[in-house]
Structure 1
Amino acid sequence: MASRRFSKGVTSLVLLSSLASPAFAGGLERGGYNIDQLFDTSPFSFQSGVTYVTPQRRLKDVRDTNTSVLTGGGNLNTRPNSADDTSNYTIPYIGFKAGFADAVDCLVDYSVPFGGHTDPGSNWAGANNNIETEIKTRNYGGTCSYRFDMGPGQLRFIGGAFYQEVEGFKERLVSTLPVLLGTGTGVGRLDLEDSGWGWRAGVAYEIPEYAMRASLVYNSRVKYDNLTGTVDLRQVPIVPIYGGKITNVFGSAEAPDSLEMKLQSGIAPDWLAFGSVKWTNWSVLQSVPFCPTSTKGVAACTAGGATELTSLDLLYRDGWTISGGVGHKFNDQWAGAVSVTWDRGTSQGYGAQTDSWTLGLGAAYTPTEHIEWRFAGAVGVLTSGSSGTFEYNGQTYGDDVSYSFGNDLVAALSTSLKIKF
């Protein structure tokens, strides 16, 4: 009797753990890859949710270190030496899960795994580095698993594929001379887009009686081998060859692969402990060069190469995210969870992505056996640091602007509705 009460008491907490701490992670992390709905014990379930994140990263002590009119935008040190760097964003999710023959489960989902948006504007001393940059992705996935009895529990093999789209842009001040001459704003813009395929594979072991589950899932890289776009220099007519017009460009990049281990187990009647460790290969994104389409097949498009027209400089290192928490079922309708998450910053002295610490609180309300509403909140700290010159593969980056930043706050709210039948 006690073990049956234990199992019933923690079941509703199993999937709550993924909503306990929406985090502001490093790199271009947004929602990441999350297939927790695949483990839903209902034969069929539909889930829709959204997370709203408000990072408050503020740059200060900004100094324009490349004051050349032609290559550095001009001397911008008379402009404000501080700026709000980050923008609020939302992360949507939609998923449908179906079970077949008590052994096979399949999940189709839409998510936003990666993205980024910085918007310090033009009125700051670092406008020659960035006015606004935004990257968006859309991910359409299909994942299935097969489970069978093994020992006291069940072993599950997981596999799937996903199709991913990416688009984005960057604007920066190329030169102040067109403004002085009355021939333009001096702002240049890069637009890009591409799509690609990825796959995932994993394994999980579950003992339902104790709400115990251990899983290990690998998500592959997505190769953007045909990044295409434009460089718009119509507002910078003084640039040789490409100034005053729009130029078609091409490049290539990769969305990172990742490996995540999740653990959870009942620890007492109506109590659940959970944790996870994730590695993300953000170091695949360094400097992404873009070259005129007219040079394609003539010379390789490489960072710092002779045909490079512009680049998207990220210069990331690998990311690590560690999370742990505990959940409790209060009664047949209400359950809650609390978690702590640490994320290692991906910046290496260039950029503002330092370590973050996040405290998350989540709750689930189940008015009937077919409906579950979840909501969660999180507050965290983005740790301090600075950005300046950085050397990579013999190339120098960050020599156009330097700045520092203190410990800043980040907050998030998340909600979802699940229908089970």
Structure 2
Amino acid sequence: MNKKGFAALAGATALSLLGAAAANAGGFSRGTADTDILFEQGNFNVRTSVTVVSPERKIVSGASNIGHDYADSYVMPSLAAKFRISDNLSCAGTIANSFGAASSFDAPRAPASGIPFGKLEEKFTVMEYGATCAVGFDLSKGRLSFIAGAYVDDFDYDLSVRHPAFGTGTGTVDLSGTAWGWRAGLAYEIPDIALRGQLLYRSGTKIEASGSTAGALMGPGTAEGQGKLPQSIEAKFQTGIAPGWLAYGSVKWTDWSVNKTLDLTTNVGFNNNNDYYWRDGWTVMGGIGHSFNEKISGTAFLMWDRGTSTGWDLHGDVLTLGTGLIMKDGFGELRLGGGVSRVGSIKETKTTGLYAVGHGWSFSGLAGYSLKW
């Protein structure tokens, strides 16, 4: 087989990472730490990218905001740097936007008497800062690697709301917190045919955040929030299938059933519980990469994510088609990718508002660059 062609495709699977972000698929899932850089050739590698996602979730029925698209666009950075310490040991530092959500709503209408109540904006982001190492051993055929690392989840939450506790104006709540987690796995490679199988576990974390409140007619207050982020297991596989051709795929289980409620309490009389009671998430992805020549390679992939909703909210199935292009220059590799997702319609069945959203589309674009020495 064409070994040079496989080398040109070495980063094709990295472009498929934008699929996981294409529509906030899989509950609050966004990006994934780029630990695959551990298997790149070179003594020192840097890979960075920015993904922009524009989702669509339009309310078609419910108590308010009919016809309103509440899903906000967002930007996800990713950075990974690998150091080859010895022939058998490599370590990488990674930064990724692992979880998040962002929504905005029309101003609530005032009742016949009193002050209007309702959320105006709500968003949270979780940035993951991690360090992961791989220890490899040559076998009679191929190479076996053990993977282990740790990370910190940096949580940030912002809420803008109309509520009597804040008087006649708008109240705000800001929270932040951190939690530690770990990952571990193993991988088997046959580099000559670009074959690699990998199984990777990521632990869950419990977020206990604290912060402040503010309102137009009141002084600052205090706030606290609690929630759980899930553990996950992902199996990935890739192999050369013909000169210049690569096939790859993955299956990921995410323990979203731990996300039952997100609880917010304040000392100003405003408390809020978001009810989810999700089921576990499953994500399946498969793709093909092709090396057109030694400088240009492309990839296309299809991804399906089973929605997590059990009737308490509006997180449904997502189907994503993505493409990517890798272009080598005199210094490194430029990577460009795009994805379009079909987001399924879904309705609430266990809440008082009984909201529903119709089918929607989500679009994503990725630009990145990688270097190696």
Inter-partner Cα distance in structure 2 for 1:124 and 1:332: 61
Report deviation, 1:343.
0.8
Contact 2:155 2:209 in 1 (8 A): no
SS in 2 for 1:402: coil
Query: Paired residues, what number?
Result: 364
Tell me whether 1:367 sits opposite 2:329 in the alignment. Answer: yes
Report deviation, 1:171.
2.9
SS in 2 for 1:9: helix
Contact 1:30 1:114 in 2 (8 A): yes
TM-score by length of 2: 0.91
Q: 1:88: which partner in 2? A: 73
One-letter amino acid matched to 1:157: F
Inter-partner Cα distance in structure 2 for 1:53 and 1:249: 30
One-letter amino acid matched to 1:230: S
Tell me whether 1:139 sits opposite 2:128 in the alignment. Answer: yes
Unmatched segments (≥5 aa) in structure 2:
111-115
Contact 1:121 1:132 in 2 (8 A): no
Q: 1:303: which partner in 2? A: none
Contact 1:57 1:408 in 2 (8 A): yes
CA RMSD of aligned residues (A): 2.4
Inter-partner Cα distance in structure 1 for 2:322 and 2:121: 30
Report deviation, 1:12.
2.4
Question: For residues 5-404 of structure 1, what are the structure 2 equivalents within 5 Å?
Answer: 5=2, 7-20=3-16, 21-22=18-19, 23-24=22-23, 25-63=25-63, 81-122=66-107, 128-175=117-164, 184-185=168-169, 187-224=170-207, 226-232=208-214, 234=215, 244=218, 246-292=220-266, 309-368=271-330, 370-388=331-349, 390=350, 398-399=351-352, 401-404=353-356
Inter-partner Cα distance in structure 2 for 1:162 and 1:334: 34
Inter-partner Cα distance in structure 1 for 2:86 and 2:312: 53
Q: 1:408: which partner in 2? A: 360
- 1:377-398 per-residue CA deviation (whole Å, 9 max, x = no partner) reads 111100011124x2xxxxxxx3
TM-score by length of 1: 0.81
Inter-partner Cα distance in structure 2 for 1:82 and 1:128: 19
Contact 2:348 2:355 in 1 (8 A): yes
Contact 1:136 1:166 in 2 (8 A): yes
Contact 1:81 1:124 in 2 (8 A): no
Report deviation, 1:106.
0.8
Distance 1:197 1:383, change over 3 A: same
- 1:82-121 per-residue CA deviation (whole Å, 9 max, x = no partner) reads 2111111111011111112211111112111111101123
One-letter amino acid matched to 2:288: V
One-letter amino acid matched to 1:190: V
Q: 2:113: which partner in 1? A: none
Report deviation, 1:251.
3.8
Inter-partner Cα distance in structure 1 for 2:321 and 2:242: 23
